[in-house]
């Protein structure tokens, strides 16, 4: 075996311990997929160009030489630098790909050919190959580059995000990249499982297109159109199918609440001291509440403006009504719940210890640890090349 083992960061209790992943991707969706697998115990080697992953430069803020963005999705892996335009470096990738259980990449199809990666893929038939694309190669957009904002625009996400004053807006985080990265991890795991059932067969090639993943994330908005012919517009924070569901102003802020059934609406009306609202013909069931949403939200606001967000949050929690304050990011990371469950981990780094969000999963009650900080550019190149040379000798 030529795959260089990661003795220092192995964790045999994790479910993907022993799975070898070659990450040739950069920016977000591909590295996120590799991060999901790495958090579950996979041994991931990230290969970067001499220029490095673009997100290393997407700052400020920076920590050491790298932007904070890079730290979000590159933990729990080793990193090396190879120039895939060089035959000898491409031979290293070929050797690693042949020993890997799966490869993740997000090159454009023409780049795959020009760099010779299509040949590397074809000479590794036992390796699952996960390709992230801007859009499926089967369609006319298959050769086009794609970023999250373009995918949000083309998929219709922007057309249902925002309100009349803002016009269409993108979601405030790269949601299509995130969805695509998670689909890529799911596709990788499915392909690995299938190949282990049929180890003598050819491993699957999994294509994960941003555009199609963006469309899949429309969920109820897509179904409303395909089934009912609805062309949704800008609802802001309102729900297209349920009322009340959204932010209501309080004395000192806003509280997002949702009553998605008649039982919950009765409980809400009782909790605010207006039980008769539940029997009002305008609000007697969900279709009626949707038709009279503006009136209902106005009545709720008139009551909630009388007390603070925190006091209503306590009252609704006692009544079993789902609600949440609209937190700023700094407030999120002061939340007592996050402290109690240990979602944020502090890890060592050459530029100084750094706090990172760990995996949201818990396995048998334990959160997978951050075994390695995101690597420096080329941090493990020499060690990996030495291990490969020793194995070849």
- Which segments of the chain does DSSP mark as H helices, in order? 29-39, 68-72, 87-99, 109-114, 117-122, 148-155, 175-197, 210-216, 220-228, 262-271, 286-291, 293-304, 309-318, 329-332, 336-341, 381-392
- Judge whether 77 and 375 are in contact, CB under 8 Å: yes
* Nearest residue to 76 (alpha-carbon basis) of 37, 129, 102: 37
Q: Which residues pair with 355 in a beta bridge?
A: 346
| SS3 label, residue 83 | coil
Q: Which of 177, 262, 285, 335 is catalytic?
A: 177
Count of alpha carbons within 13 Å of 233, Cβ hemisphere only? Answer: 5
Count of alpha carbons within 13 Å of 55, Cβ hemisphere only? Answer: 20
Question: Do β-strands 128-133 and 344-347 pair in parallel, antiparallel, or remain unpaired?
Answer: unpaired
Cα separation, 270 vs 357, in Å, equals 39
Question: Do β-strands 102-105 and 20-23 pair in parallel, antiparallel, or remain unpaired?
Answer: parallel
Angle (deg, nearest 10), helices 175-197 and 148-155:
90
Peptide bond preceding 61 in cis form (omega within 30 of 0): yes
**Distance between alpha carbon 176 and the CA centroid of its chain, in Å?**
8
262 catalytic residue (yes or no): no
First and final CA of the chain: distance in angstroms? 12
- Judge whether 236 and 287 are in contact, CB under 8 Å: no
Angle (deg, nearest 10), helices 262-271 and 309-318:
130
The kind and range of the H/E element at 102 are: strand 102-105
Active-site residue list: 177
């Amino acid at each position: 075996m030529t795959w260089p083992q990661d003795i220092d960061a192995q964790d045999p209790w994790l479910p993907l311990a022993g799975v070898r992943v070659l990450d040739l991707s950069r920016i977000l969706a591909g590295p996120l997929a590799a991060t999901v697998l790495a958090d579950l115990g996979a041994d991931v080697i990230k290969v970067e160009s001499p220029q490095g992953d673009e997100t290393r430069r997407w700052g400020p803020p920076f920590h050491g030489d790298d932007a904070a963005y890079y730290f979000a999705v590159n933990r729990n892996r080793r990193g090396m630098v190879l120039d895939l335009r060089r035959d000898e470096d491409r031979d290293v990738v070929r050797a690693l790909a042949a020993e890997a259980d799966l490869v993740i990449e997000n090159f454009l199809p023409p780049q795959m050919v020009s760099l010779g990666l299509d040949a590397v893929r074809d000479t590794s038939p036992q390796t699952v190959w996960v390709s992230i694309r801007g859009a499926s190669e089967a369609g006319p957009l298959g050769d086009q580059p794609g970023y999250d904002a373009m995918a949000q625009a083309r998929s219709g996400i922007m057309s249902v995000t925002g309100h009349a004053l803002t016009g269409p807006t993108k979601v405030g985080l790269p949601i299509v990249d995130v969805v695509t990265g998670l689909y890529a991890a799911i596709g990788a795991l499915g392909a690995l499982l299938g190949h282990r059932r049929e180890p003598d067969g050819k491993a699957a090639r999994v294509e994960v297109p941003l555009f199609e993943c963006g469309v899949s994330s429309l969920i109820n908005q897509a179904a409303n159109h395909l089934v009912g012919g609805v062309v949704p517009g800008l609802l802001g924070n309102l729900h297209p199918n349920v009322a009340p569901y959204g932010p209501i102003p309080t004395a000192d802020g806003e509280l997002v609440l949702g009553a998605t059934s008649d039982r919950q609406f009765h409980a809400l009306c009782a909790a605010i001291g207006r039980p008769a609202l539940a029997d009002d013909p305008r609000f007697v069931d969900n279709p009626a509440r949707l038709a009279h949403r503006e009136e209902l939200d106005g009545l709720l606001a008139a009551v909630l403006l009388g007390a603070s967000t925190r006091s209503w949050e306590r009252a609704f929690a006692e009544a079993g009504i789902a609600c949440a304050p609209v937190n700023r990011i700094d407030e999120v990371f002061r939340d007592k719940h996050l402290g109690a469950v240990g979602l944020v981990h502090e890890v060592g780094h050459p530029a100084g210890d750094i706090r990172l969000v760990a995996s949201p999963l818990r396995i048998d009650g334990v959160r997978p640890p951050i075994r390695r900080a995101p690597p420096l550019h080329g941090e493990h190149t020499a060690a990996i090349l030495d291990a490969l040379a020793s194995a070849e000798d």
